[in-house]
Copies of this chain bind each other. A is one copy, B any other.
Amino acid sequence: MPSITGRAVQVTDKGGPFAVVQREFPSPGPGQVRIRVQACGVCHSDAVTKFGLFPGIVFPRVPGHEVAGYIDEIAPDVKGFNAGQRVGLGWHGGHCTYCRQCRQGNFVLCENQLISGISYDGGYADYVIAPANALALIPDDLGHVDAAPLMCAGVTTFNSLRNSGARLGDTVAVLGIGGLGHLGVQFAAKGGFNTVAVARGADKGVLAKELGAHHYIDSTTQDVAAELQKLGGADVVLSTVTDAGAMEIAVNGLAPQGRLILLGVPEKPLTLNTMPMILGERAVKGWPSGTGFDSQDTLEFSVLTGVKPRIEEYPLEEASAAFDRMMSGRARFRVVLTTGA
């Protein structure tokens, strides 16, 4: 099949503006598919592309790692997917299959991992060409716009939670109610956890309860660690914020054997008081995101239990405004680009 023409919103060079361009999208190469994008979430990590925060990014580059759309064309050697299927593509943009981690089945830790929108052009576009081994199937009952944010904000919170060791009824606190946190709260509540939302300001409390939180802590007026301890301590804290200080405080709110799970990179190194960690078998653990299959599980869970992202939609051509809106921290809660395709 021939290449096809479409729009892409690319970052021309490191720190440069977004530019809407027309370009060719060739047929997918071996192991790849071409996706006709319907929706693409705008994630804080798109700043990595915009500002060239990882080494080796080749510009111009199209950001976007919360992609939902149709398989438009599929390489002849790809098995397990078919043209026309609805698929999602997330941060994990493909794995090599042969490194030590891949040979153990830990694809998300692949030593040669590709990242959508960073290693190759992502979802701020009409088409994306991506490795089939990064894809998730989207369930029939889930729309593209809802699926998109679940491909990164969703899978990151869902997958870290389901692998956290938390048992039914345990206390799970979510730090931050933004793009990730507003999904984390829902997942925790639907998963049978005693769910605590922690955020800044009293007004977020109403939202937190709507999202299913059983408790809300306003970190601007309350002592977060003390409030968590009143509830018996948090067995798990999912940190979706970038404020190192907030994470450090949360360690003091952990129950014995509790663990703080870092989903977002703090803006500076964490400084940990280790005494309560040692006396109480507490832990701090990082978590990256998930594979395409993990995302597929996330989508299926969301349909099963009714978890839905709250979004603000922008047309693809307004990607620059959408990105600014996301960066402002005032979006409620996830910004999604739509192609109108």
Contacts and interface: CB of A to CB of B under 8 A. Distances in A.
A267 to B, nearest CB: 10
A103 B94 CA distance: 12
A293 B103 contact: yes
B292 A103 contact: yes
Contacts of A104: 105, 293
A288 interface: yes
A234 B304 CA distance: 16
Interface stretch (A56-64, A65-73, A163-171, A310-318): A163-171
Contact of A162 (B106, B168, B274, B285): B168
Contact of A158 (B98, B168, B274, B284): B168
A275 B242 CA distance: 12
In the complex, the count of this chain's copies comes to 4
Interface in A249-289: 256-257, 259, 262-266, 269-288
Interface in A87-144: 96-101, 103-107, 109, 132-133
A77 to B, nearest CB: 8
Contacts of A97: 97, 133
A291 interface: yes
B257 A277 contact: no
Contact of A270 (B81, B214, B271): B271
Chain A contact residues: over half helix, strand or loop, or mixed? mixed
A29 interface: no
Contacts of A301: 168-169, 192
Nearest to A169: B301
A163 B167 CA distance: 7
Interface string A300-323: 110011000000000000000000
Interface residues of A, number: 68
Given A162-B168, A168-B158, A168-B191, A278 B286 contact: yes
A194 interface: yes
A79 interface: yes
A187 B288 CA distance: 30
A50 interface: no
A286 B293 contact: no
A337 interface: no
A278 B287 contact: yes
A319 B286 CA distance: 45
A145 interface: no
Contacts of A283: 259, 283-286
A212 B158 CA distance: 22
Contacts of A278: 262-265, 286-288
A297 interface: yes
Contact of A272 (B187, B263, B272): B272
23 contacts: A80-B103, A81-B98, A97-B97, A100-B293, A103-B133, A103-B292, A105-B105, A162-B169, A169-B301, A190-B192, A191-B191, A192-B192, A266-B274, A269-B272, A269-B274, A270-B274, A278-B287, A280-B286, A280-B288, A281-B285, A281-B287, A282-B286, A283-B283
Given A270-B270, A271-B272, 7 more contacts: A98-B132, A100-B293, A109-B281, A158-B168, A265-B278, A281-B286, A284-B284
